[in-house]
Amino acid sequence: MTSSAVQAPVARLVLRAPYLIFLADIRETGFAKTGLGIAQWCPEKCVGQLRLPGCAVDARLPDLDIAAARAAGARSLILGAAPIGGDIKPNWVETLCRAAEAGLDIVSGLHRPLSRIPGLADAAARGGGRLVEVRVPPPDIPIASGRKRSGLRLLAVGTDCAVGKKYSALSIARELQRRGLPATFRATGQTGIMIAGEGMPIDAVVCDFTAGAAEILSPDNAADHWDVIEGQGSLFHPAYAGVSLGLLHGSQADAIVVCHEAEREQMAGYAGYPVPDLQDCIDLHLQMGRRTNPSIRCVGVSINTARLPADRRRAYLEQCARRTGMPCVDPLVEGPAAIVDRMLGVCA
């Protein structure tokens, strides 16, 4: 957070570092986005990863068991898995209990409360650690007012879940700050909250209050201040479109950046639901966003190109740019400078 930012009434989080990232037995990177995100953005706080047999995800941290992690100074085990539905699998419980007995805090951003895991609270009591729930919204969230707020806002939106909305928002916020411009990353999901230390777990808010939660996440601010808001889900998603729309309306975004993963053709975990065309995605978000901000604009496309061979990246990005008329970059490769240039040119 920059010094000029207005403090938002959001959930705040104090985690004890260093972290052991628990990747469990996850086989697809999209369902390990919490662990991978923390390893990417907070590597200095991570001592290692713990993987069960069958895990096919690698956060590129040392593989440690609980004893080795404790010897290396770990103070928290973070559930790095993010499966559909946010549940904790029965075969993970033994590992969590052993970590709690060893004195590690157990940190979860999943929907299932840690207190409901048999034996885990007792193990934490014996070990002296904490059970830390990240996905708990603050109390007394109001319904949305629809009142236009001062300051500027960018919202990262997407063609699907886990396509790079958090990474794009973090990258854009850092680029604005690098240029000496006032900007704050506003986290809306468990991983972003763990990275930023505060935020709004928007998908845990009762649906009638989602837009209101987005309003209090990005309050009135200085006229030149940018709130860069992490998006959730997709307006095209068969399960999560509701949270996406509430966040879009409550954010009252002046600008959107559309996020997409190259080569993804089907919604992750939802066979038969195709990923939308980029231009269709832009058009629908602008149409729906005009409900609360008639001046909303798209300022760029952020492409996760990790699945593309290196010799195809440039051609793919150029093709997307021609089709949309927008700067198209991978923020972790080229950086988001081209998107920020357009954003400042059309919105500031």
- Categorize the per-residue pLDDT at 212 as very low, low, confident or very high, splitting at 50, 70 and 90: very high
Q: How many CB atoms lie within 10 A of CB 220?
A: 12
Distance CA 15, CA 130 (A): 10
Q: How many CB atoms lie within 10 A of CB 16?
A: 15
pLDDT at 5: 66
Instruction: Express each pLDDT in 123-182 by its tens digit.
Output: 999 999 999 999 999 889 999 999 999 999 999 999 999 999 999 999 999 999 999 999
* Cβ-based burial of 192 (10 A; exposed 0-12, middle 13-18, buried ≥19): buried
Peptide bond into 18 cis (omega under 30): yes
**Fold for the domain defined by 11-133:** Rossmann fold (3.40.50)
Instruction: Express each pLDDT in 37-75 by its tens digit.
Output: 999 999 999 999 999 999 999 999 999 999 999 999 999
Nearest to 153, CA basis, from 222, 242, 243: 222
Model confidence at 346: pLDDT above 60: yes
pLDDT at 207: 95
Domains 11-133 and 152-347 share a fold: yes
| All structural domains of the chain with their residue ranges | 11-133, 152-347
pLDDT at 2: 44
Q: How far is CA 92 from CA 46, 79, 87, 123, in A?
A: 20, 10, 11, 14
Of 3.40.50.300, 3.50.50.60, 1.10.274.10, 3.30.1050.10, the CATH number of 152-347 is: 3.40.50.300
